[in-house]
Structure 1
Amino acid sequence: MQKKNPINVYLLTGFLGAGKTTLLNGLLQQSRDRRNIVIENEFGKVNIDASLVAAQIENIYELTSGCICCSLDNELLEVLGGILRLEEQPDQVFIETTGIADAGNIIGMFSIPDVKARFRLMSTVCVADAENVETRLEQVTEVGKQLSCADVIVLNKTKDLPVPEQLRLQALLENINPLAYITATADGLVAMADLQPQERRIPAPAARLSAGDTACAMPVEKTPHKINTVLFESPQPFDLQMLAFVLEMNFNVYTDQLYRIKGYVAVKDQPEKYLVQSTGNYLSIVPAGTWGDTPPSSTLVFIGKDLKSATIERILRPALK
């Protein structure tokens, strides 16, 4: 029997040993009254993590032939299709990726119309090991991408961490991803309520623009790990088709530098605001309601590696009208 509403999906990412499986077990314990399915991915031939997952699940699907976010796109789609063919469909699906995964592509898969109609990606959660997240950021590119793509960042293993050090790490993570909700835990346990959809933060403009001002792109604080945020804002409306063209083109050109875009824009001849989101190869520009009492303007946040405000402004300027 098919469910009328989309199936809720939670994507769990984080580097090797950060505590993803512990987090997953805790979430399953909290979801004992719901029908749950787990999709596990381990880089290699044998998945040992699946044996650690708690028993509050209907089924475990194991993807073991490669990284879920690159070579296994088709296999994951097949698994999702198989879930839809089950006689009793689940309420929730938890996807735990391998520790070296780039989550961008899998996030994009849930924007495919046929997938989006049946599955709702509720939250992308990245677990960060407080003991070595800074070192991993310097050593492994994927760690920065995982953090940048997340809706929720869980700073794990904080039991023996002095409070000033914990606050410093949380500030570092917020600089890397100002759009994420950040929470800390000593033992990998997080409340399901913290993973529910919420209005993600978009940094407030550093300076208020008047009607005569032109577009500007400003760097928000740069981290020592070359991941930085650029805030673009303009009172001018965008041409919708041109905006989609320049963003898609430059996402392909700067695929190793540009990790995420999010924000609201004003569109020429349209009374409503548009929500812009981009992660991996996925770009979405959709209506998002009226401006209300707020004057129409555009604010976009770009997260990536060594981003330049002048470059962002040059990319977007042709799409302004």
Structure 2
Amino acid sequence: MPIPIYVVTGFLDAGKTTALNNLLNKRLLEQREAQDMQILVIQFEHGEAVFRSKYSNCYLINFPKKALDQHPEQISEQIHSCLLERRCDEIWIEWNSVTPFAQLQALILHPALKNKCRMEKVMHMADAKKLEELLRIQGGALPEQIAGCDFLILRNVGSDADYDRLRQLIYNINPGVKIYETKQAEDIYLQVYRQSPVNIMVNVFGGIMAKFSS
């Protein structure tokens, strides 16, 4: 079976690494079945936070942006070698904020990986206080990441009016995408604890409370 890939996108300091820390460490701590899994975390960006796994079954590799720009095929081959050397049940990727998402898709579709992995879910992290400005001043990478995500997590929402304005802005890029706001982390995490890995991913980082109508 192809190995599922879960991707966390977002601009620098949007909370991607914090999401990975909270999700994977809590999951490995509190889910006995997860402790038997082998998880590979791949970081293509370094922010202020540092990913630190507390468990030996969570393995981390990093690739600098220079390598991503100049030697993408070597990155695919290196990931392939890593998968041959150790068992892997899940792959989590923290994607570079200024690099087009199409480049990640190209890495995964490389002949060395395309039959071994599959893109499962893409979560986009966004800071509500910075999102509008970033969309104005950045190029196409940020809108592309929003357009390609399965759901979006908003941090630091100031008011309902701010949320409504940002929701419309996001819908203009990715119509109807599910949008969540980080609130009541522990309470909601306990409620969703035994859900599937994807649902745990959505809820554990900020204990997400949905603010949209389906």
Deviation at 1:167, TM superposition (A): 2.4
**Which structure would you say has the larger RCO, counting Cα contacts within 8 Å and 6 or more residues apart?**
2
Q: Structure 1 vs Structure 2: percent identity of aligned residues?
A: 24
Asked if structure 2 preserves the Cα contact closer than 8 Å seen for 1:50 and 1:60, the reply is: no
2:17 matched residue in structure 1: 21
Instruction: Give the Å deviation of 1:183.
Output: 1.8
| Equivalent residue, structure 2, for 1:167 | 164
**Are residues 1:124 and 2:127 paired?**
no
The amino acid of 2:145's aligned partner reads: Q
**CA shift for structure 1 position 194:** 6.4
CA distance in 2, matches of 1:101, 1:140: 11
Per the TM alignment, residue 36 of structure 1 is displaced from its structure 2 partner at its CA by 1.1
Task: Report Cα offsets for 1:149-191 as digits up to 9, x if no partner.
Answer: 2222211223xx1122212212221221116332221599987
Maintained 8 Å contact 1:65/1:72: no
Letter in 2 for 1:64: P
1:163–1:54 CA distance, 2 compared to 1 (3 A): farther
Q: How does 1:293-312 map to 2 (within 5 A)?
A: none
Contact 1:8/1:121 (<8 A) preserved: yes
- The structure-2 alpha-carbon separation of the partners of 1:66 and 1:55, relative to structure 1 and needing over 3 Å to count, comes to farther
> What CA distance in whole angstroms lies between the structure 1 residues aligned with 2:167 and 2:67?
28
Deviation at 1:49, TM superposition (A): 6.0
Gaps of 5+ in 1: 197-321
Q: 1:27 to 1:163 in 2, by over 3 A?
A: same
The one-letter code sitting in structure 2 at the alignment partner of 1:39 is I
Counterparts of 1:173-192 in structure 2, within 5 Å, are: 173-178=170-175, 180-186=177-183, 192=198
Instruction: Answer yes or no: is the 8 Å Cα contact 1:40–1:96 preserved in 2.
Output: yes
More helix by share: 2
Establish whether residue 77 from structure 1 lines up as the match of residue 81 from structure 2: no
2:140 matched to 1:144?
A: no
Residue of structure 2 equivalent to 1:38: 41
Question: Does 1:107 find its partner at 2:105?
Answer: yes
SS in 2 for 1:131: coil
Alignment correspondent of 2:212 = none
Q: Is the 8 A contact 1:152 1:195 kept in 2?
A: no
1:256-277 per-position Cα deviation (integer Å, ceiling 9, x unaligned): xxxxxxxxxxxxxxxxxxxxxx
Structure 2 equivalent of residue 193 of structure 1:
199
Looking at structure 2, the residues matched to 188 and 86 of structure 1 have their Cα atoms a distance apart, in angstroms, of 36
> What residue in structure 2 maps to residue 218 of structure 1?
none
Query: Aligned pair in 2 of structure 1 residues 113, 78: CA closer, same or farther (>3 Å)?
Result: closer
Q: Distance in 1 between matches of 2:125 and 2:184?
A: 11
CA 27–107 in structure 1, closer or farther in 2 if over 3 Å, else same: farther
- The code of the aligned residue for 2:113 comes to V
Q: Distance in 1 between matches of 2:78 and 2:185?
A: 27
Aligned counterparts of 1:123 and 1:25: Cα–Cα separation in 2: 18
TM-score (norm 2): 0.73
Query: Within 2, Cα distance between the matches of 1:18 and 1:26?
Result: 14
Cα distance in 1, alignment partners of residues 185 and 42 from structure 2 = 19
CA RMSD of aligned residues (A): 2.8
Question: In 1, distance between residues paired with 2:40 and 2:65?
Answer: 20
Segments of structure 2 that go 5 or more residues without pairing to the other structure are 29-33, 193-197, 203-214
2:155: which partner in 1? Answer: 156
Offset at 1:13? Answer: 1.2
Q: 1:92 to 1:181 in 2, by over 3 A?
A: same
Kindly indicate whether the alpha-carbon contact (under 8 Å) linking 1:155 and 1:170 is maintained by their aligned counterparts in 2.
no
- Count of aligned positions: 184
Q: Amino acid of the residue matched to residue 124 of structure 1?
A: V
